[in-house]
Amino acid sequence: MRPRAASRGWIGRRPLRLPARSIAIMLVVIYLMTPRLAAADPARPALDTTMTQAVLNAALTFLLPRTLESHTSRDFCLWGLNGLSAIDPSLTVTDRDGTVQLALGQDVLLRVPDPAETDQAGWTDVTVRLMQAAWVRSSAVRDAGGGGLLQGFFDELFNHMDPYSRYVAPAPATTDRDTRTGGEAGTGLTLGRDARSILITAVNANGPAWPAGLVVGQRLYAVDGRSTRDQTPQTVTQWLLGDPGSRVTLLVGDERARRTIVLHRASVPPETVFAYADGHVVVIRITAFSADTAQEMSQYLDQASDDPHLRGLVMDLRGNRGGVLQQAVTASALVLDRGVAVVTHGRDAQANHVWAVQGGDMTNGVPIVVLVDGRTASAAEILAATLADHRRAVVVGSATLGKGLVQTIGQMPDGGELFVTWSRVLAPLGWPLQGLGVMPQVCTSRGEADLERQLQDLAAGQVDMRDTVQASRAVRFPVAVSRILDLRKACPAAIGTDSDLDAARSLIDNPAEYRAALSAIPEEGTYAPQAE
């Protein structure tokens, strides 16, 4: 007789038989001892793990080669996972003995072995798994939503870096892009209304309406045959928007005559340059550096050069927070014959540049005064530093903000954007803008009496700010914070006042003052910039 085969899973032993009551007790004990994840709730929104993983992977791909200091995938992910605690303080993430652990209070939700430090895919997967576990157990995380989860991750990650690197969520990122590039195509008209009809209240010089001859005060009676009667300016503005290059027909005029104008829609960056003439002195105010700033500036300089008696130019950069670096460089080329505008140094090869200009001074060397204040930053500081270091302009005002770090922008799969600092800015004479800012040759933040004394001394050939200005130009990276503070206290950062314009006019009206102020800048040639 063939022996009967043993039951599968049991070899040479008889199965242990327990009473039903004992089995029930064991099942209860096992259930109580097992860490529990909440049961799936059909009404509860699920975390989009596919998009979350795509964003995190794209972010690491963008960050790893570009940050000023070298970091690993492990660094970035562990920093970012602290964002879970920012959303729900009862959540903690720890990494000990080669294991990443997520806990909710005393309850361990998940333990995952550490991938290799540089394993980008592995750390992305670990991060998403911990986020998913937190999502299931924490109502605060679910209330924050997938967007809030990513925002918290990047906020905590960038807290370990510089003040300017950041993640911008999809909705505000779209707004930012529209501001930089002009957004949806339109005509460049700003509309209002009076008791009778829709009025043109502003015409953007960058838009198609400007060369067509439309002017402020004209009435807009119809758009593509649709009457604007009883419509709001907001509604009519929407009628003007459309695809780039598409045609839009406007009926404009006044009570005496009307005419039809056909425009082709275009993306219209906001105007950033405004100008007016004060006698034979032209004041150009630059509010930001967007895609068309240098072109706008060249138009005003072209008009200014038509004045055969032009005595000077004032560039007002007060309150200008910066923008596109290349636009600041191009703007400097409009009034500078040749030379290095700025040097950028970073870890990524593409971040290293010697930005040199060789154009032609549209103003034929007329005196230039640049106005700055404590809010002047970034690209605006670059323009001020470039013109000052080449002795092409006198800077008047207070110490500027001192933002000398350049960000590059990465588009994320969710429509958000990463702004990542990838280079440091050095002025033409080799000094770092970060923290230090631009020290003016004429300081207006120490009061009227002090300013009056400075101008009197300049007329006599003496520059009160000479030592501070030259000391700031001698600084080299890295520089101690104490040294920066010591230099900046000589002309404390402040918001600009009318005294700035008064000082600018005095410098232009008195060539001796202007020449003396220029002499505060060391001679060129003491620093030879090189791209690393």
d(CA 466, CA 139): 61
With tokens 């954007």, the residue in question is: 417
Sequence spans of domains, the chain: 49-161, 183-264, 273-345+355-404+428-518
- Equal CATH topology for 183-264 and 273-345+355-404+428-518: no
What's residue 43's pLDDT? 58
CB of 408 closer than 8 Å to CB of 56: no
With tokens 């933002």, the residue in question is: 403
d(CA 362, CA 528): 27
What's residue 39's pLDDT? 44
Q: Which two tokens stand for residue 249?
A: 């027909």
d(CA 310, CA 515): 18
d(CA 232, CA 236): 6
What burial class does residue 54 get, using C-beta atoms within 10 Å of its C-beta: 0-12 exposed, 13-18 middle, 19+ buried? Answer: middle
What contacts 387, CB < 8 A, 6 or more positions away? 315, 332, 335, 336, 368, 370, 393, 395
Angle between helical axes of 293-304 and 325-333 (0-180°, round to 10):
20
d(CA 362, CA 196): 45
d(CA 452, CA 435): 28
Q: Is 194 left (phi over 0), alpha (psi -120 to 50) or beta?
A: beta
CB of 253 closer than 8 Å to CB of 217: no
Q: What is the pLDDT along the chain (532 residues), one digit of tens a residue?
A: 444 333 333 333 334 344 544 434 333 333 333 344 444 455 568 999 999 999 999 999 999 999 999 999 999 999 999 999 999 999 999 999 999 999 999 999 999 999 999 999 999 999 999 999 999 999 999 999 999 999 999 999 999 999 999 999 998 887 777 666 656 799 999 999 998 899 999 998 889 999 999 999 999 999 999 999 999 999 999 999 998 999 999 999 988 899 999 999 998 888 899 999 999 999 999 999 998 899 999 999 999 999 999 999 999 999 999 999 999 999 999 999 999 999 999 999 999 999 999 878 999 999 999 999 999 999 999 999 999 999 999 999 999 999 999 999 999 999 999 999 999 999 999 999 999 999 999 999 999 999 999 999 999 999 999 999 999 999 999 999 999 999 999 999 999 999 999 999 999 999 999 999 999 999 875 455 554 4
Instruction: Give the fold, CATH level 3, of 183-264.
Output: Pdz3 Domain (2.30.42)
CB of 42 closer than 8 Å to CB of 138: no
* Beta-bridge partners for 356: 340
Pairing of strands 273-278, 368-372: unpaired
What burial class does residue 28 get, using C-beta atoms within 10 Å of its C-beta: 0-12 exposed, 13-18 middle, 19+ buried? Answer: exposed
Q: Does residue 367 have a cis bond before it (omega within 30 degrees)?
A: no
The CATH label, of 3.30.465.10, 3.90.226.10, 3.10.20.90, 3.40.50.300, for the domain at 273-345+355-404+428-518 is 3.90.226.10
Question: Phi and psi (nearest 5°) for 453?
Answer: -65, -40
d(CA 416, CA 210): 33
What's residue 21's pLDDT? 46
What's residue 180's pLDDT? 61
d(CA 264, CA 262): 7
- Taking the CB of residue 70, how many other CB atoms lie within 10 A of it? 9
CB of 284 closer than 8 Å to CB of 297: yes
Sign of CA dihedral 76, 80, 81, 82: positive
What's residue 162's pLDDT? 93
CB of 314 closer than 8 Å to CB of 306: no
Q: What DSSP character marks residue 412?
A: -
Geometric angle at alpha carbon 461, from 457 and 465, rounded to 5°: 60
Q: Is 97 left (phi over 0), alpha (psi -120 to 50) or beta?
A: left
What's residue 358's pLDDT? 87
CB of 370 closer than 8 Å to CB of 390: no
